Amino acid sequence: MKRTTGVMLAIWMAVCLCGCAGGGSSSAGGDNVRIYLSLSSADTFRTVLVNSAKETAEEMGATLEVHEAEDSIEIQVAQIKQAVEEGYQVIMCSPVDTDTTLELEAIAGDVPIIFFNSCPDDSYLEADKYMYVGSDEGVAGEYQAEYILDSMSGKDEINVAILTGPSSHSATEGRTGQLKNTLNSSGKKINYVFQDHADWEQEKAEKYFDVFLSTGKAFDVAVCNNDAMALGVIDSCRKNGISDPVILGIDATADGCAAIIAGDMAFTVYQSATGQGEAAVKAAVALGSGGSAKEMEGISEDGKCVWVPFEKVDSANVEKYQ
């Protein structure tokens, strides 16, 4: 939008006066914005994300209150009601179940919501009101498929075992769906010899892979929706005497990177929890102060999402991500 020089000068003077009166605040526009964060539950990735959000809010001069929903839809609904009743300007929400999105938005009313970690259906998102901040999950699955196809280019047939996140999580569908789409369009014969939901959990992945290995079926690669499940597969293979398995994860956690360095895992995809926490708060401050997120880095063309890029990680560059 065009502004005259006189208007810009007036704005500049007003900002200077406010800054002097406030002792030189470096809030970057976050003063007086109160953010209510409803977290589905805490795990390693979400904890890093929330800590980054707290740091960013403090830097911007905003107030961020974090409440854990303990994977309970009822608790999360009550939290959104609390946020409205207590006059928070904006809500950040990691949904327990994205099927409740419409209900959460109805309760929020005029209070904007920044969803993160699990993406609601696109039909429930609206630019500058109900937005999603995260990474494009399909890209992570595509990167895994590309690694498989590059490293197994000499094979005409590939046997793939898959361990996924919870069925209700958007990342499960995005990562697994695009993994399969990319593999299936390769022209090779792809056999999916095993697939089950291990729900991000290392112990559950180990248990499920033990069962798979007991069938005696061969696999060329085990692909997991996150690093924790990949570590469970590593434990299972080691216990069952499977040497040099090709195992892929996502997230580039500290343990995942250590597994690559040790030669136990071949590949992972870096998802920046820090970057997502920072971007989510910046979007929340923009909307909570009555502004727009349309100028944010990574904003989608329709203005509904802010994307934080994924990055490929293998033995050649893993030390960068430790």
What is the percent of the chain where pLDDT is above 70? 91
So what's the pLDDT on residue 132? 98
CA nearest to 132, candidates 120, 146, 145? 120
So what's the pLDDT on residue 112? 98
> What is the per-residue pLDDT across 41-68, written as a single tens digit (0 to 9) for each?
998 889 999 999 999 999 999 999 999 9
> What is the per-residue pLDDT across 151-191, written as a single tens digit (0 to 9) for each?
999 999 999 999 999 998 889 999 999 999 999 999 999 99
Q: Are strands 113-116 and 90-93 parallel, antiparallel or unpaired?
A: parallel
For 166, other C-beta atoms within 10 Å of its C-beta total 16
So what's the pLDDT on residue 29? 62
In the sheet with 90-93, reading across from the earlier edge strand, the strands are 63-68, 34-39, 90-93, 113-116, 130-134, 305-307
Distance CA 288, CA 309 (A): 25
Residue with tokens 């999580």: 169
Burial bucket for residue 5 (CB in 10 Å: 0-12, 13-18, 19+): exposed
Q: Could you give phi then psi for residue 72, rounded to 5 degrees? A: -110, 120
Range 219-247 average pLDDT: 97
For 113, other C-beta atoms within 10 Å of its C-beta total 29
Sign of CA dihedral 149, 153, 155, 157: positive
Residue with tokens 């014969």: 189
Lowest-pLDDT range of 40-49, 100-109, 139-148, 152-161: 40-49
| Maximum pairwise Cα distance, the chain | 77
Instruction: Look at 113 and 24; give whichever has higher pLDDT.
Output: 113
> Is-contact 38 83, C-beta < 8 A?
yes
* SS3 assignment, position 16: helix
The pair of three-digit structure tokens given for residue 202, joined into one six-digit string: 């290392």
Range 5-31 average pLDDT: 39
So what's the pLDDT on residue 8? 36
